[in-house]
Amino acid sequence: MGLTTQQMIKWIQKANETIQENKAYLSDLDQAIGDGDHGFNMARGFEETAKKLSEGSYNEPADVLKDCSMTLISKVGGASGPLYGTAFLKMALALKGKEEIDYRSLSEAITAAADGIKQRGKAAEQEKTMIDVWSPVAYYMETQNEMDTEGFLRTAKQAMDRTKDMKAAKGRASYLRERSIGHLDPGSVSSYYVLSTLAQIIDEEEVSL
């Protein structure tokens, strides 16, 4: 048994709830080292995405992720829109044709998402961007043979926290150079929400991967 289409929808709905709850916090983080719109951008994009998913009918998990991608690209302003859009598109492509998603496929999908963000953002690790959450989580999954949600959550949280000490080399925060140090990267915090809600759904639904 693996993750089903319905569980994919539940994941995105949970991600949306968490983002709505933390909208002001995400914007505050972006206010410190960017232009203060990240909470608004994410809240708008995920609200529209959750709405779209509640109205649509989907044959397989990849179709859900593809719809997320399209909605995020069209509704999220700012740099994060195309980056999240790419992440979801790459996951959809990696999972195409699978009725249910097993551990290895999920791991490959997260790696594809991380690679997609790197390509699209022309960025690498340690540049204080959302990549610094997606990549460590992808590496962690690659080293495991089954889903360990605790380890997954710990990895994602530590990765997010580590962005605080990094100096931004990409995106708006890079204009601040050294002054970006000491603040969490907003996109890494929203990525933590997106990935941690996946682990939460796996736990809640008692999916054994």
Contact call for residue 83 and ligand ADP (CB under 6 A): yes
Minimum Å gap between C-beta 113 and ligand ADP is 12
Minimum Å gap between C-beta 43 and Mg ion is 13
Tell me 184's DSSP state: -
Minimum Å gap between C-beta 50 and ligand ADP is 18
Contact call for residue 34 and Mg ion (CB under 5 A): yes
Are 120 and 86 within 8 A, CB to CB?
yes
d(CA 170, CA 168): 6
Name residue 101's beta-bridge partners. 3
Dihedral, 170, 83, 30, 180 alpha carbons, nearest 10: -20
Contact call for residue 37 and Mg ion (CB under 5 A): yes
Contact call for residue 132 and Mg ion (CB under 5 A): no
Termini Cα distance of the chain: 7
Which one, 36 or 151, has the nearer CB to ligand ADP?
36
Instruction: Give the x/- contact pattern for ligand ADP in 168-187, rule: CB under 6 A.
Output: --xxx------------xxx
Report how many residues bind ligand ADP under the rule CB under 6 A.
Answer: 24
Tell me 175's DSSP state: G
In this structure, the number of other CB atoms found within 10 A of the CB of residue 190 comes to 31
- Write out the DSSP string of 14-56: HHHHHHHHTHHHHHHHHHHHS-S-HHHHHHHHHHHHHHHHHH-
Are 117 and 86 within 8 A, CB to CB?
yes
Choose the binding region for Mg ion from 36-44, 94-102, 106-114, 127-135 (rule: CB under 5 A). 36-44
Instruction: Give the x/- contact pattern for ligand ADP in 130-159, rule: CB under 6 A.
Output: xx----------------------------
Q: Where on the chain is the footprint of ligand ADP (CB under 6 A)? A: 30, 34-35, 37-38, 41, 78-80, 83, 117, 121-123, 129-131, 170-172, 185-188
Q: Where on the chain is the footprint of Mg ion (CB under 5 A)? A: 30, 34-35, 37-38, 78
